[in-house]
Amino acid sequence: MEFEKRKAATMASMNSPEADKSPKGTIDTPIIPLLTAINSHSSFFTTSSCSGRISIFSQPLNPNPSSKKKAKGGSWLFISHTPVHPSSLLPILFPQKGFKNQEFQGGPFALLFKFEPLIIAVECRNVEAAQFLVSLAISCGFRESGITNLSKRVIVGIRCSIRLEVPLGSSERVIVSSEYVEYLVNVANEKMEANRGRTDCFLDALLKNGFSANGNVVETGICNGDEDSECHDGGKMESLGNSMSFDEDDVVDGERRSDLDDCQSGCFALTLSTV
C-alpha cells in the first residue's frame, strides 16, 4: 500500500499546474513520452529525470560557503536539452570588446563545457520489477543503469556514460578558441543525437513489453505483489539476475549525489519523504 501512496502523490505532483521543485519548474519536453510509458505501469513511477543537456557551467575558483548558488557553488550560464548552434554559446564566452558577462561578477570562475545524457530515477514495486527495468535499459544502451537503493524503497537509476566535460578556462581568461568551442558543440550535438536514439530505443522496448504510450495503467509481465510473490512471466524474469547495481553511498534516490545537484537546474526533480 505504501508504494501506491507514494506513486499517487508523485503522479498528482507531476500533473499539477504548479511548478515543480527545480528552477526550470517543468519536465523536459523530449522525455515526456518515456516518462508516460514508465508511469503507466503499476509497478513503477519516476521520481526525477533529465532528458540530457548541453551546458556551460561556472564554478567559483574560491568557493564562498555562504553562496546561494548551486549547492556546491556555481551556476549554469547556458543549458539546452536539444542540439544547439555554436552561435548560442559564443557570445557568452567571447563577449564584444568592452563588455563583460554579468554572471562573472564576484569571480573568478572556472568554466566547463558539458554534455550530460539522460538520467531517470524510478521507484519500483519490488526487486523483480527493478531487475526487469534495469535489464531492458541496459539492452538499449543505458549500460550504467542499476538498482541504487534496496533499503525501504527499491530505486533504479537509468543512465549511460556518453558524457563530455571540458575545461574552457576561467571568467578572467578563456583559454580555448571560438573554433574549438564550435568543435565541442558539434561533438556534444552528436552525443545528444546518440542519447536521443537510446531514449527512443528504450521507449520502443517498453511499449513492446506492454507499457502504455497514452498513460493507461497496465500490469502485464512483471510482479505486482510482494517481493516473494510469483511473477506473471517467470521465463522472462529468469534472465534478469545479472543486472548491475551501485553502491548506495554514491547514489541517493536513484541519482549520484552530483547528479542530484545538477538536477536542480533545468531538470524535473521531486523529493518524497521515505515512509
Q: For residue 89, which amino acid is it?
A: L
Residues of the chain short of pLDDT 50, as ranges, are 69-71, 223-275
Domain 2-50+121-161+175-269: assigned CATH number:
3.30.1960
**For residue 64, what pLDDT is reported?**
60
For the chain, what are the domain ranges? 2-50+121-161+175-269
Between CA 157 and CA 148 the distance in angstroms is: 6
Q: Which residue has the cell 551546458?
A: 55
Q: What is the enclosing helix (H) or strand (E) of 116?
A: strand 109-116
pLDDT of res. 74: 77
pTM more than 0.85: no
**Residue 65 has what pLDDT?**
58
Residues in contact with 228: Cβ distance below 8 Å, sequence separation at least 6, in sequence order? none
β-pairing, 164-170 with 109-116? Answer: antiparallel
